[in-house]
DNA sequence: AGATCATTTCAAGAAACATTGAAATGATCT
DNA sequence: AGATCATTTCAATGTTTCTTGAAATGATCT
Protein backbone atom coordinates (compact mmCIF):
# COMPACT_ATOMS: atom_id res chain seq x y z
CA UNK A 1 0.00 0.00 0.00
CA UNK A 2 1.47 3.33 -1.05
CA UNK A 3 1.27 6.61 0.78
CA UNK A 4 -1.46 8.20 -1.38
CA UNK A 5 -3.68 5.16 -0.86
CA UNK A 6 -3.05 5.28 2.86
CA UNK A 7 -3.99 8.95 2.95
CA UNK A 8 -7.13 8.17 0.97
CA UNK A 9 -8.11 5.35 3.34
CA UNK A 10 -7.44 7.44 6.42
CA UNK A 11 -9.42 10.33 4.97
CA UNK A 12 -12.28 7.99 4.21
CA UNK A 13 -12.39 6.82 7.81
CA UNK A 14 -11.78 10.27 9.29
CA UNK A 15 -15.42 11.20 9.35
CA UNK A 16 -17.93 10.41 12.04
CA UNK A 17 -20.59 8.90 9.79
CA UNK A 18 -18.20 7.02 7.54
CA UNK A 19 -16.39 5.53 10.49
CA UNK A 20 -19.75 4.38 11.84
CA UNK A 21 -20.73 2.96 8.46
CA UNK A 22 -17.49 1.10 8.09
CA UNK A 23 -17.64 -0.27 11.60
CA UNK A 24 -21.16 -1.48 10.96
CA UNK A 25 -20.10 -3.17 7.73
CA UNK A 26 -17.16 -4.80 9.46
CA UNK A 27 -19.50 -6.18 12.07
CA UNK A 28 -21.90 -7.32 9.38
CA UNK A 29 -19.16 -9.45 7.85
CA UNK A 30 -18.36 -10.26 4.22
CA UNK A 31 -22.00 -10.60 3.18
CA UNK A 32 -22.49 -6.89 3.74
CA UNK A 33 -25.65 -4.91 4.27
CA UNK A 34 -28.16 -3.17 1.98
CA UNK A 35 -27.78 0.61 1.85
CA UNK A 36 -31.24 1.14 3.25
CA UNK A 37 -30.50 -0.88 6.33
CA UNK A 38 -27.36 1.12 6.99
CA UNK A 39 -29.31 4.34 6.50
CA UNK A 40 -31.95 3.22 8.94
CA UNK A 41 -29.60 1.94 11.63
CA UNK A 42 -27.41 5.04 11.54
CA UNK A 43 -30.23 7.47 10.85
CA UNK A 44 -28.69 8.99 7.74
CA UNK A 45 -30.43 10.48 4.70
CA UNK A 46 -30.11 8.09 1.76
CA UNK A 47 -28.45 10.61 -0.53
CA UNK A 48 -25.99 11.63 2.16
CA UNK A 49 -25.21 7.99 2.68
CA UNK A 50 -24.56 7.46 -1.02
CA UNK A 51 -22.02 10.26 -0.83
CA UNK A 52 -20.22 8.58 2.05
CA UNK A 53 -20.40 5.11 0.52
CA UNK A 54 -18.78 6.59 -2.54
CA UNK A 55 -15.88 7.92 -0.56
CA UNK A 56 -15.37 4.59 1.16
CA UNK A 57 -15.60 2.82 -2.16
CA UNK A 58 -13.10 5.11 -3.88
CA UNK A 59 -10.74 4.49 -1.00
CA UNK A 60 -11.12 0.77 -1.60
CA UNK A 61 -12.60 0.12 1.83
CA UNK A 62 -15.96 -1.21 0.67
CA UNK A 63 -17.46 -2.93 -2.35
CA UNK A 64 -20.98 -2.81 -3.75
CA UNK A 65 -23.13 -5.28 -5.53
CA UNK A 66 -26.72 -5.06 -6.60
CA UNK A 67 -29.33 -7.45 -5.26
CA UNK A 68 -32.73 -6.78 -6.72
CA UNK A 69 -33.47 -3.16 -6.01
CA UNK A 70 -31.07 -3.02 -3.10
CA UNK A 71 -27.42 -2.10 -3.24
CA UNK A 72 -25.39 -4.21 -0.88
CA UNK A 73 -22.25 -2.74 0.60
CA UNK A 74 -19.59 -4.85 2.23
CA UNK A 75 -16.34 -4.07 4.03
CA UNK A 76 -13.14 -4.86 2.18
CA UNK A 77 -11.15 -6.59 4.86
CA UNK A 78 -7.97 -6.78 2.84
CA UNK A 79 -7.84 -3.01 2.49
CA UNK A 80 -8.36 -2.58 6.20
CA UNK A 81 -5.51 -4.94 6.89
CA UNK A 82 -3.25 -3.22 4.41
CA UNK A 83 -3.93 0.05 6.19
CA UNK A 84 -3.16 -1.43 9.60
CA UNK A 85 -0.07 -2.97 8.08
CA UNK A 86 1.19 0.35 6.81
CA UNK A 87 0.58 2.09 10.12
CA UNK A 88 2.41 -0.52 12.14
CA UNK A 89 5.17 -0.80 9.56
CA UNK A 90 6.36 2.72 10.37
CA UNK A 91 6.22 1.84 13.95
CA UNK A 92 8.72 -0.65 15.13
CA UNK A 93 12.12 0.41 13.89
CA UNK A 94 14.57 -1.61 15.88
CA UNK A 95 12.15 -3.53 18.05
CA UNK A 96 10.14 -5.57 15.61
CA UNK A 97 9.49 -8.29 18.13
CA UNK A 98 7.42 -5.95 20.27
CA UNK A 99 5.21 -4.99 17.40
CA UNK A 100 2.61 -7.60 16.58
CA UNK A 101 1.17 -7.26 13.08
CA UNK A 102 -2.41 -6.10 13.20
CA UNK A 103 -4.99 -7.92 11.19
CA UNK A 104 -8.71 -7.98 10.82
CA UNK A 105 -10.71 -11.13 10.16
CA UNK A 106 -14.35 -10.97 9.14
CA UNK A 107 -16.69 -12.46 11.67
CA UNK A 108 -18.26 -15.77 10.75
CA UNK A 109 -20.80 -15.35 8.03
CA UNK A 110 -24.28 -15.67 9.52
CA UNK A 111 -26.34 -16.57 6.46
CA UNK A 112 -25.66 -19.26 3.88
CA UNK A 113 -22.13 -20.02 2.82
CA UNK A 114 -20.88 -16.80 1.23
CA UNK A 115 -19.62 -16.61 -2.33
CA UNK A 116 -15.84 -16.87 -2.09
CA UNK A 117 -15.22 -14.60 0.92
CA UNK A 118 -11.55 -14.12 0.10
CA UNK B 1 -10.42 6.01 23.09
CA UNK B 2 -13.81 7.35 22.05
CA UNK B 3 -15.13 7.79 18.56
CA UNK B 4 -14.63 11.57 18.29
CA UNK B 5 -10.99 11.17 19.33
CA UNK B 6 -10.52 8.42 16.79
CA UNK B 7 -12.00 10.61 14.08
CA UNK B 8 -9.70 13.44 15.13
CA UNK B 9 -6.63 11.21 15.05
CA UNK B 10 -7.56 9.75 11.67
CA UNK B 11 -8.20 13.22 10.28
CA UNK B 12 -4.85 14.38 11.57
CA UNK B 13 -3.11 11.55 9.75
CA UNK B 14 -5.24 11.81 6.63
CA UNK B 15 -3.04 14.38 4.98
CA UNK B 16 0.04 13.76 2.92
CA UNK B 17 2.35 16.13 4.79
CA UNK B 18 1.09 15.30 8.26
CA UNK B 19 1.40 11.59 7.63
CA UNK B 20 4.99 12.19 6.52
CA UNK B 21 5.68 14.34 9.57
CA UNK B 22 4.24 11.77 11.92
CA UNK B 23 6.09 8.92 10.28
CA UNK B 24 9.32 10.88 10.59
CA UNK B 25 8.69 11.58 14.26
CA UNK B 26 7.89 7.94 14.89
CA UNK B 27 11.18 6.98 13.31
CA UNK B 28 12.96 9.64 15.31
CA UNK B 29 11.77 8.01 18.53
CA UNK B 30 10.71 9.54 21.84
CA UNK B 31 13.37 12.25 21.82
CA UNK B 32 11.66 13.89 18.88
CA UNK B 33 12.99 16.35 16.34
CA UNK B 34 13.24 20.15 16.17
CA UNK B 35 10.66 21.78 13.89
CA UNK B 36 13.33 23.17 11.62
CA UNK B 37 14.80 19.78 10.96
CA UNK B 38 11.40 18.39 10.03
CA UNK B 39 10.82 21.38 7.77
CA UNK B 40 14.12 20.83 6.04
CA UNK B 41 13.83 17.08 5.63
CA UNK B 42 10.30 17.27 4.24
CA UNK B 43 10.79 20.54 2.38
CA UNK B 44 7.89 22.34 4.00
CA UNK B 45 7.49 26.06 4.73
CA UNK B 46 7.90 26.66 8.45
CA UNK B 47 4.55 28.38 8.87
CA UNK B 48 2.77 25.63 6.97
CA UNK B 49 4.51 23.12 9.18
CA UNK B 50 3.36 24.90 12.32
CA UNK B 51 -0.18 24.56 11.04
CA UNK B 52 0.22 20.82 10.60
CA UNK B 53 2.03 20.32 13.89
CA UNK B 54 -0.88 22.04 15.55
CA UNK B 55 -3.34 19.62 14.05
CA UNK B 56 -1.27 16.65 15.13
CA UNK B 57 -0.93 18.13 18.58
CA UNK B 58 -4.65 18.82 18.98
CA UNK B 59 -5.30 15.24 17.97
CA UNK B 60 -2.94 14.12 20.72
CA UNK B 61 -0.52 12.47 18.31
CA UNK B 62 2.51 14.62 19.11
CA UNK B 63 3.88 16.71 21.96
CA UNK B 64 6.10 19.79 21.92
CA UNK B 65 8.74 21.10 24.23
CA UNK B 66 11.03 24.04 23.88
CA UNK B 67 14.79 23.62 23.78
CA UNK B 68 16.57 26.92 23.45
CA UNK B 69 15.12 28.56 20.39
CA UNK B 70 14.02 25.29 18.89
CA UNK B 71 10.68 23.64 19.37
CA UNK B 72 11.02 19.90 19.62
CA UNK B 73 8.16 17.74 18.45
CA UNK B 74 7.84 14.09 19.39
CA UNK B 75 5.41 11.34 18.49
CA UNK B 76 2.97 10.27 21.17
CA UNK B 77 3.22 6.52 20.93
CA UNK B 78 0.40 5.83 23.34
CA UNK B 79 -2.05 7.73 21.16
CA UNK B 80 -0.93 5.81 18.11
CA UNK B 81 -1.46 2.55 19.95
CA UNK B 82 -4.86 3.63 21.19
CA UNK B 83 -5.84 4.37 17.61
CA UNK B 84 -4.63 1.00 16.37
CA UNK B 85 -6.44 -0.57 19.27
CA UNK B 86 -9.71 1.03 18.34
CA UNK B 87 -9.41 0.05 14.71
CA UNK B 88 -8.70 -3.59 15.48
CA UNK B 89 -11.30 -3.67 18.23
CA UNK B 90 -14.09 -3.30 15.66
CA UNK B 91 -12.50 -5.96 13.67
CA UNK B 92 -12.57 -9.38 15.13
CA UNK B 93 -16.12 -10.07 16.23
CA UNK B 94 -16.25 -13.77 16.86
CA UNK B 95 -12.70 -14.66 15.94
CA UNK B 96 -10.62 -12.81 18.48
CA UNK B 97 -7.82 -15.34 18.32
CA UNK B 98 -7.10 -14.43 14.70
CA UNK B 99 -6.74 -10.78 15.46
CA UNK B 100 -3.40 -9.88 17.00
CA UNK B 101 -3.44 -6.60 18.90
CA UNK B 102 -1.41 -3.95 17.09
CA UNK B 103 1.08 -1.94 19.00
CA UNK B 104 3.81 0.52 18.27
CA UNK B 105 7.03 0.71 20.25
CA UNK B 106 9.41 3.62 19.91
CA UNK B 107 12.77 2.66 18.48
CA UNK B 108 15.67 2.68 20.89
CA UNK B 109 16.64 6.18 21.85
CA UNK B 110 19.82 7.14 20.02
CA UNK B 111 21.13 9.95 22.18
CA UNK B 112 21.58 10.00 25.95
CA UNK B 113 19.13 8.19 28.16
CA UNK B 114 15.82 9.94 27.52
CA UNK B 115 13.79 11.58 30.26
CA UNK B 116 11.19 9.02 31.26
CA UNK B 117 10.10 7.84 27.79
CA UNK B 118 6.80 6.46 29.05
C1' DA C 1 -47.91 0.02 -18.98
C1' DG C 2 -48.17 2.27 -14.67
C1' DA C 3 -47.17 2.45 -9.75
C1' DT C 4 -43.93 1.85 -6.17
C1' DC C 5 -39.63 1.03 -3.77
C1' DA C 6 -34.50 1.56 -3.15
C1' DT C 7 -30.89 4.18 -4.39
C1' DT C 8 -28.29 7.57 -7.01
C1' DT C 9 -27.41 12.02 -9.43
C1' DC C 10 -27.32 16.92 -9.56
C1' DA C 11 -26.95 21.68 -8.09
C1' DA C 12 -26.45 24.89 -4.32
C1' DG C 13 -24.64 26.61 -0.04
C1' DA C 14 -22.17 26.70 4.46
C1' DA C 15 -18.20 25.18 6.80
C1' DA C 16 -13.58 23.37 7.24
C1' DC C 17 -8.90 22.93 5.19
C1' DA C 18 -4.29 23.97 3.25
C1' DT C 19 -1.06 27.32 1.55
C1' DT C 20 1.07 31.94 1.18
C1' DG C 21 3.39 36.20 2.53
C1' DA C 22 4.18 39.55 5.99
C1' DA C 23 4.66 40.65 10.60
C1' DA C 24 5.28 39.26 15.48
C1' DT C 25 7.44 36.50 19.41
C1' DG C 26 11.10 34.50 22.14
C1' DA C 27 15.66 32.97 22.86
C1' DT C 28 20.60 33.57 22.01
C1' DC C 29 24.88 36.06 20.93
C1' DT C 30 27.94 40.19 20.60
C1' DA D 1 20.83 47.15 23.60
C1' DG D 2 20.80 45.51 18.98
C1' DA D 3 21.20 41.81 15.65
C1' DT D 4 20.01 37.25 14.42
C1' DC D 5 17.88 32.74 14.39
C1' DA D 6 13.83 29.49 14.98
C1' DT D 7 9.23 29.38 15.10
C1' DT D 8 4.57 31.13 15.44
C1' DT D 9 0.60 34.27 14.47
C1' DC D 10 -2.41 36.63 11.38
C1' DA D 11 -5.14 37.66 7.37
C1' DA D 12 -6.30 36.48 2.70
C1' DT D 13 -7.40 33.10 -0.80
C1' DG D 14 -8.60 28.99 -3.38
C1' DT D 15 -10.08 24.21 -2.61
C1' DT D 16 -12.43 20.51 -0.66
C1' DT D 17 -16.01 18.57 2.26
C1' DC D 18 -20.63 17.64 3.99
C1' DT D 19 -25.49 18.31 3.84
C1' DT D 20 -30.05 19.27 1.65
C1' DG D 21 -33.82 19.10 -1.52
C1' DA D 22 -35.50 17.92 -5.94
C1' DA D 23 -35.31 15.14 -9.77
C1' DA D 24 -33.67 10.93 -12.13
C1' DT D 25 -32.60 5.77 -12.53
C1' DG D 26 -33.46 0.89 -12.21
C1' DA D 27 -35.84 -3.00 -10.51
C1' DT D 28 -40.12 -5.16 -9.01
C1' DC D 29 -45.12 -5.87 -8.83
C1' DT D 30 -49.98 -5.57 -10.52
pLDDT digits (tens, 9 = 90+) for A73-94: 999 999 999 999 999 887 766 5
Say yes or no: Cβ of A68 under 7 A from any atom of strand D.
Answer: yes
Check: CB of residue A10 under 8 Å from CB of residue A45: no
Report the nearest residue to nucleotide D20, CA vs C1'.
A48
pLDDT class of B98 with cuts at 50, 70, 90: low
The string of pLDDT tens digits covering residues B37-51 is 999 999 999 999 999
**What kind of architecture, by CATH, is found in domain A3-88?**
Orthogonal Bundle (1.10)
- Residue % of chain B over a pLDDT of 70: 80
Residues of A in contact with B95 (CB under 8 A): 105, 107-108
In the predicted structure, residue A117 carries a pLDDT above the cut 50: no
Residue A18: predicted pLDDT: 98
**Is the CA virtual torsion B54, A84, A3, B107 positive or negative?**
positive
Residue A114: predicted pLDDT: 39
In the predicted structure, residue B95 carries a pLDDT above the cut 90: no
Residue A105: predicted pLDDT: 80
Q: How far is CA B66 from the centre of its chain?
A: 18
Residue A99: predicted pLDDT: 62
Residue B109, class by beta-carbon neighbours within 10 Å (0-12 exposed, 13-18 middle, 19+ buried)?
A: middle
| Pairs of residues, one from chain A and one from chain B, whose beta carbons lie less than 8 Å apart | 118
- Per residue, the 3-state secondary structure of chain B, as one string, reads CCHHHHHHHHHHHCCHHHHHHHHHHHHHCCCCEEHHHHHHHHCCCHHHHHHHHHHHHHCCCEEEEEECCEEEEEECHHHHHHHHHHHHHCCCCCCHHHCCCCCCCCCCCCCCCCCCCC
In the predicted structure, residue A7 carries a pLDDT above the cut 90: yes
Domain boundaries, chain A: 3-88
Say yes or no: Cβ of A58 under 7 A from any atom of strand C.
Answer: no
pLDDT class of A103 with cuts at 50, 70, 90: confident
Residue B101: predicted pLDDT: 63
- Three-class secondary structure of residue A112 per DSSP: coil
- State if pTM tops 0.75: yes
The string of pLDDT tens digits covering residues A25-71 is 999 999 999 999 999 999 999 999 999 999 999 999 999 999 999 99
| Region B3-89: CATH code | 1.10.10.10
Amino acid sequence: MKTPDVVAALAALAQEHRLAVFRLLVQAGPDGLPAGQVAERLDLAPNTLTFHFDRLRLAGLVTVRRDGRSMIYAAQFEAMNALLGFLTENCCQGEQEKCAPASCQPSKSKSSRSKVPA
